[in-house]
Chain A
Amino acid sequence: MKTEMDFEDLMEEAYGLPNGTAKLGMLEEAARVADVNGMEEEAYEARSEIVETATFCGYPMKALIAFSWQLGKFDQQPERYDEETLMWSYKWILGELSSFPEVSRDKMMELLEDFGRRFKSFGYSERSYWYYRFRISMDLGDLEEAGSSYTKFRNMDRDFMSDCEACEQDEIMRYWILVGDDEKVLEAAKPILKGRMSCAEIPHLTLSEILMPLYRLGKIDEADKHQAKGYRMIKGHNDFVQSFAEQMDYLARTNPAKGIDVLEESLVLAMDHEDPFAKMMFYARAAQLLRRWADESPGYRLRLPASFPYEGDPGDLRKLADYFAAHAKSAADKYDQRNGNQHVSSMLSEV
């Protein structure tokens, strides 16, 4: 019986699967088997895989839980485990942390310091610390603080623990988006769009982020090109829920029919996503899109996933839009309260 598989079998089967909930389930099962049988190193190994898989398929909470366990074990017996892999995971955790409104500002700063202290103690470059300070400040809406961290991290040496150039460049671009300087956004995007910088997630993310800035600058042809290419790259992957939101934001203005396709194709991915921020953005943009679409094509019945918890009539697009908007707004309130500003709700001002 498969439910009685042992640790090695489970890990092997998990390694054979593509990233996704099935793989994650298999890894969790492996961690459980290891826990029950007191196999600590195996439990640690399974959790390393959980952190990575969960981070890249929409389960940041599971990643955080597994990482917390690992860090505790590591601190008890640092000689037993590899610190590079663990510290690399720490960066993923920091990158996701702000998505949970329950985690307070102070706690985030404490974690950032803990991260910085650990990086320093292993002799890694301080660039990573400042870079994550830059990112977290952006998440919290402290653009001034973000700006000064930006200046700082850029001048520091990169090392093997630094994020790749493409990822850094994408974050720099995000900074200019938040600041509202579309010309600078384009400038920052250039090396990515020209293909000079890329990685597993870039330009996937960039091609959606760039759409609204291009739209505002009136460069619709270019934006359309990036939209088509970008969507092709991310379609069906639940790692890109926020990108679907950006796609809908743009398409609501230029081609709502295509936007509806994006919504129908990716709603099931957004629903099941554990990152409340990405989900909020998706719901907010879905609401916006539905309102435009209701004007253009009244009576259209939106194809909702079977498990979507909406009781109303899927043909009443305005009601449905309200439903999405309500979700997004209540999430935004939580972020505003945590951040102590209107940063997040202002991103949804049109909803």
Chain B
Amino acid sequence: MTASNEYRFQVNLSGMIQILSNHLYSSPKVFLRELMQNATDAITARTEAEPGFQGEVRVELTGTGEHRTMMVEDNGIGLTEADIHEFLAMIGQSSKRGQQALLDGETSFIGRFGIGLLSCFMVSHEIVMLTQSAKGGPSMEWRGKPDGTYTIRQLETQLSPGTKVYLRCTPDAAHYFETEYVQEALFYYGALLPYPVILHSDDVQHIVNSESPIWLMEPELACGRRAEVFSFGERLLGEKFQDFIPLTTASGRTGGIAFVLPHAVNLNAKRSHRVYLKRMLISEKAENILPEWAFFVKCLIWTDELQPTASREHFYENEKLEDVRFELGDALRRGLADMAESQTERLQKLIRLHALSMKALAVQDQEFYAMIHRWLPFESTRGHRELGELISEGETLYFTTTVDEYRQIHHVASAQSMLVINGGYIYDSDLMAMLPLAVRNVQTERLQPDEVSMSFTDVPPAERNQYYDALRLADSALQRFRCRAEVKGFKPADLPVLFTLSQESSTLRALEKASEESTELFSSVLGSLSSGISSAGYSTLYLNISNPIIQRVLTSPDAQMTPIAIEMLYVNALMMGHYAMNRQELEVLNQGIVRFIDWGLRANTDRKGDA
């Protein structure tokens, strides 16, 4: 291509700046991070060329009010005139390809340098950059304005290698130039940098970041320096921690410290881990870098292998990230496994705070489950207990799959000293089902409410015959509720009846209840649905023969009295079980009460009459 055929789009810098401030960065404050990142990249580049080179970043604040100025200086590789032209061209290309290209694209060092620099227009109406390349050549000055105009000139004096950027604050952004703010932000972004960051303000000078700890690059060393790790964690993450697990990956290119949160957390809590990319803070709300179940830790993670999005605030969700996530999760799991082996008390403490997280992990990982199972808490007919204790009872562990089922049977089950576990809470029934696979010599069995009846005492046939008439009366009274009666003996004796409901009959009850309240159209739709279920949909009312009142009802059946008594026992059982009643059942309850009052009063009056 000859020169005459070549055209170049005008750089629309003001448009670019619009895009940056409105779409790319979450807040103007990131300009400082971008400057630090540029400085870091420049120092890294120089260190590569001159091994052993000691980098340094200086930030200087001068002036007050509208004249407040910030200078950020590094002694890195610096830019040649050609470099400056290149970065301007890169920006031009980015703007030509549009916003999306800028947001998605992976750019070169120079390109990133340029884009990062532009973020300064969010806080300053002019950027002045003085730079001297370590490769030689004249020192250069670049002055840019947010309308897209800029000048480049060679300086007469020769500066030492490196880059200085000068910003004068806009009135809106003055608070980003205050000493206290800048000091905090520099620590925040650069706490892990391996060279000093020096802040010079009002004639005071000090190093913002203490020397970066050795365990940063070798997390396994952290265990020997617990106090130091805790104080570093508290300063960076703002919480007092009591435990941590070092995170390592095989490549050694990602690592970190997982601080165990000192308080219980909600399963939906935002997972906010702080991540440093090449030792610069990239995100304080990285959610996708650890597996879902790891919500009991807050992590400091450093990596040099993940690809940041253009805003440098998140990572691309790609296979690399998935691998890293898996490895970090694995490191966390190994940390827990080690505790299970040698520091059980520490693990117990952790599980007590974060049982849900541990259960979430155990469900996914049988081996891990086997390791920690004995400390997981469950609700059972023997109270809230750790699984180890429950297993040591040496009985079959029955479990329900819903809170509802548990509620239906736990009275009866505990009276019969059956060991039943409430599996209605998240993960619990899954864990129960898995238990025999994970741990040897443990039996678990899913218990359906109507199976509690298994342990009821059967009434001998001869005796049952004697209740035949009463049962017929009971069945016909209960038929309209799609329920049937059965006579059994069970504990506790003061419980007259027990109502049980299968999955199907439970669905049917819900269908009917909704149908009563709904529109005609929906009622008829629900009606056709219930026709698909009906066959198995009978519930059972167990009459307890060990109970004196039931004895009386059954032994002297009265065609008038028995049906009403049975109906009342039925609605009473519903109330005891906290079931919502439908209209028919409520009516039975109301009429029954009135009738019994009436009978009671009449009996009383009659007796008085006799006297």
Interface residues in chain A, defined as those with a beta carbon under 8 Å from any beta carbon in chain B: 2-3, 15-18, 20-23, 25-26, 28-29, 32-33, 35-36, 61-62, 64-69, 71-73, 75, 97, 100-104, 107, 110-111, 114, 232, 306-307
Neighbour of B532 across the interface among A26, A97, A102, CB < 8 A = A102
Stretch at the interface among B165-173, B191-199, B222-230, B523-531: B523-531
A65 engages B514 (CB within 8 Å): yes
Contacts of A28 in B (CB 8 A): 404
Closest-CB distance, A314 to chain B (whole angstroms)? 16
Cα–Cα distance between A35 and B410 once the two chains are bound (Å):
22
Chain B's interface size range is 35 or more
Q: Which residues of A contact B518 (CB under 8 A)?
A: 68-69, 71-72
The contact string, 1 if C-beta is below 8 Å from chain A, for chain B 517-545, is 11101111110110110000000000000
> Closest residue to B510 on the A side, CB-wise?
A65
| Shortest Cβ gap from B323 to chain A (Å) | 13
Cβ of B515: which chain A residues have Cβ within 8 Å of it? 68
Q: How far is the CA of A110 from the CA of B520 in the complex (A)?
A: 11
Residues in chain B near residue A64, CB distance under 8 A: 525-526, 529
Give A40's nearest chain B residue, CB to CB: B517
Asked if A3 and B403 make an inter-chain contact with CB atoms under 8 angstroms apart, the answer reads yes
Counting CB contacts under 8 A, is B268 at the interface?
yes
Minimum Cβ distance to chain B for residue A90 (Å) = 10
In the A-B complex, the 3 residue pairs with the smallest Cβ-Cβ separation, listed nearest first, are A22-B426, A35-B580, A72-B518
What chain A residues lie within 8 Å of B580 (beta carbons)?
32, 35-36
A270 to chain B: closest CB distance in Å? 16
Q: Which residue of B lies closest to A3 (CB)?
A: B407
- List 13 A-B pairs, Cβ < 8 Å: A3-B403, A3-B406, A23-B426, A29-B403, A36-B580, A64-B526, A68-B519, A68-B525, A69-B518, A72-B517, A103-B525, A107-B521, A232-B322
- Tell me whether B446 is interfacial, beta carbon within 8 Å: yes
> Is B266's CB within 8 Å of the partner chain A?
yes
Contacts of B424 in A (CB 8 A): 22, 25
Given A22, A101, A111, which contacts B425 in the complex, CB threshold below 8 Å?
Answer: A22
Contact across chains for B522 and A71 when beta carbons are under 8 A apart = yes
The answer to the question of B427 belonging to the interface, with a C-beta cut-off of 8 Å to chain A, is: yes
**Set of chain A residues within 8 Å of B525, measured between Cβ atoms:** 64, 68, 97, 103, 107, 111
Closest Cβ neighbor of B511 among chain A residues? A65
Q: Is the CB of B528 within 8 A of A72?
A: no
Q: Report how far A285 CA is from B27 CA in the complex, Å.
A: 51
Q: Given B322, B407, B426, B529, which contacts A61 in the complex, CB threshold below 8 Å?
A: B529
Question: Judging by beta carbons under 8 Å apart, are A104 and B528 in contact?
Answer: yes
Residue of B nearest to A43 (CB): B580
Contact across chains for B517 and A36 when beta carbons are under 8 A apart: no
Are A72 and B522 in touch, CB under 8 angstroms?
Answer: yes
CA distance A18 to B426 in the complex (A): 9
Determine the residue in chain B with the shortest Cβ distance to A100: B529
* CB within 8 Å of A: which B373-423 residues: 379, 401-404, 406-407, 410, 422
- B265, closest chain A residue (CB): A16
Which residue of chain B has the shortest Cβ distance to A22 in the bound complex? B426
Using CB atoms, name the residue of chain A closest to B531: A102
B429 to chain A, nearest CB (A): 9
Which secondary structure characterizes the binding site on chain B? helix
The docked-state distance in angstroms from the alpha carbon of A107 to that of B524 is 8
Q: Chain A residues near B511 (CB, 8 Å)?
A: 65
Additional 9 contacts, C-beta under 8 A, given A68-B518, A72-B517, A73-B517 = A17-B268, A21-B401, A29-B404, A36-B580, A64-B525, A67-B522, A72-B519, A107-B525, A232-B322
Question: Residues of A contacting B488 with CB < 8 Å?
Answer: none
CA distance A18 to B293 in the complex (A): 12
Determine whether the beta carbon of B402 is less than 8 Å from that of A107. Answer: no
Instruction: Select one of A33, A62, A71 contacting B519, CB under 8 A.
Output: A71
Interface centre among B266, B427, B446, B510, by most chain A C-beta atoms within 10 angstroms, is: B510
| CB atoms of A25 and B446 under 8 A apart | no
> Which residues from chain B contact A104 at a C-beta distance below 8 Å?
528
Question: Which B438-468 residues have a C-beta within 8 angstroms of A?
Answer: 446
A271 to chain B: closest CB distance in Å? 13
| Interface flag for B186 (CB, 8 Å) | no
Contact of A68 with B522 in the complex, beta carbons under 8 Å: yes
Complex interface residues of chain B between 254 and 275 (CB less than 8 A to chain A): 266-268
Residues of B within 8 A of A114 (CB): 519, 521
- Is B578 an interface position by the 8 A CB rule? yes
Q: Which residues of B contact A103 (CB under 8 A)?
A: 525, 528-529
Please, which residue of chain A has its CB at the minimum distance from the CB of B401? A21
State whether the Cβ of B599 lies closer than 8 Å to any Cβ in chain A. no
In the complex, the answer to whether A102 meets B529 with C-beta atoms within 8 Å is yes
Q: Evaluate contact between B268 and A25: CB separation under 8 angstroms.
A: no
Partner pick for A111 among B402, B510, B521, CB 8 A cutoff: B521
Whether, in the assembled complex, B109 has its beta carbon less than 8 Å from a beta carbon of chain A, the answer is no
A18 contact set on B, CB distance < 8 A: 267-268, 426
Q: Give Cα A115 to B519, complex, Å.
A: 13
Q: Which residues of B contact A26 (CB under 8 A)?
A: 403
Whether A306 lies near B433 (C-beta < 8 A) is yes
Asked if B402 and A16 sit within 8 Å, CB to CB, the answer is no
Question: Measured between alpha carbons, how far is A272 from B433 in the docked complex, in Å?
Answer: 15
How far is it, in angstroms, between the C-alpha of A18 and the C-alpha of B422 when the chains are bound? 19
Residue of A nearest to B407 (CB): A3
CA distance A71 to B520 in the complex (A): 11
Task: Give chain A residues whose Cβ lies under 8 Å from the Cβ of B579.
Answer: 32, 36
* Chain B residues positioned under 8 Å from A32 (CB to CB): 578-580
B contact residues around A17 at 8 Å (CB):
267-268, 426
In angstroms, Cα B426 to Cα A136, docked, is 35
Contacts of A36 in B (CB 8 A): 578-580
Structural contact, A15 and B268, CB atoms closer than 8 A? yes
In the complex, whether B513 has a CB less than 8 A from a CB of chain A is yes
Kindly list chain B residues whose C-beta atoms are within 8 Å of the C-beta of A72.
514, 517-519, 522
Per the bound structure, the CA–CA distance linking A26 and B426 in Å amounts to 10
| B507 beta carbon closer than 8 Å to chain A | yes
Which chain B residues lie closer than 8 Å to A22 at the CB level? 424-427
Q: Give CA–CA (A69, B511) in the complex, Å.
A: 9
CA distance A221 to B268 in the complex (A): 38
CB of A69 within 8 A of CB of B402, answer no
Q: How far is the CA of A73 from the CA of B518 in the complex (A)?
A: 7
Q: How far is the CB of B532 from chain A (nearest CB, A)?
A: 4
A25 partner, pick from B402, B433, B528, beta carbons under 8 A: B402
A290→B407 CA distance, assembly (Å): 41
How far apart sit A3 and B407, CA to CA, in the bound complex (Å)? Answer: 7
Question: Do residues A307 and B528 form an inter-chain contact, with CB atoms below 8 A?
Answer: no
Q: With A25-B424, A72-B522, A307-B446 given, is the CB distance from A2 to B379 under 8 Å?
A: yes
CB proximity to A under 8 Å, residues B480-520: 507, 510-511, 513-515, 517-519
- Closest chain B CB from A189 CB (angstroms): 21
Rounded to whole Å, the gap between the CB of A12 and the closest CB of chain B is 9
Interface centre among A3, A21, A307, by most chain B C-beta atoms within 10 angstroms, is A3
Query: B266 contacts A16, CB within 8 Å?
Result: yes
In contact, A107 and B528 (Cβ under 8 angstroms): yes
Q: Which residues from chain B contact A101 at a C-beta distance below 8 Å?
A: 532
Contact B433 A307 (CB under 8 A): yes
* Nearest CB on A from B579, distance (A): 7
Question: What B residues does A306 contact at CB under 8 A?
Answer: 433
Residue on A nearest B520 in the bound complex, by CB: A72
What is the minimal beta-carbon distance from B458 to any residue of chain A, in angstroms?
27
Closest Cβ neighbor of B528 among chain A residues: A102
**Alpha-carbon separation in the docked complex, A25 to B401 (Å):** 10
Query: A16 touching B517 by the CB < 8 A rule?
Result: no
**B608 CB → nearest A CB, Å:** 39
- Residues of B contacting A97 in the complex (Cβ-Cβ under 8 angstroms): 525
Residues of B within 8 A of A102 (CB): 528-529, 531-532
B526: which A residues are within 8 A, CB to CB? 64-65, 68
A25, B517: Cβ atoms under 8 Å?
Answer: no
Whether the Cβ atoms of A33 and B578 lie closer than 8 Å is yes
Would you give the shortest CB distance from A46 to chain B, in whole angstroms?
12
Q: Which of chain A's residues has its CB closest to B526's CB?
A: A68
Best-surrounded residue of B507, B514, B579 (most CB of chain A within 10 A): B514
CA distance A232 to B407 in the complex (A): 38
Most chain A beta carbons < 10 A, residue from B379, B427, B446, B532: B532
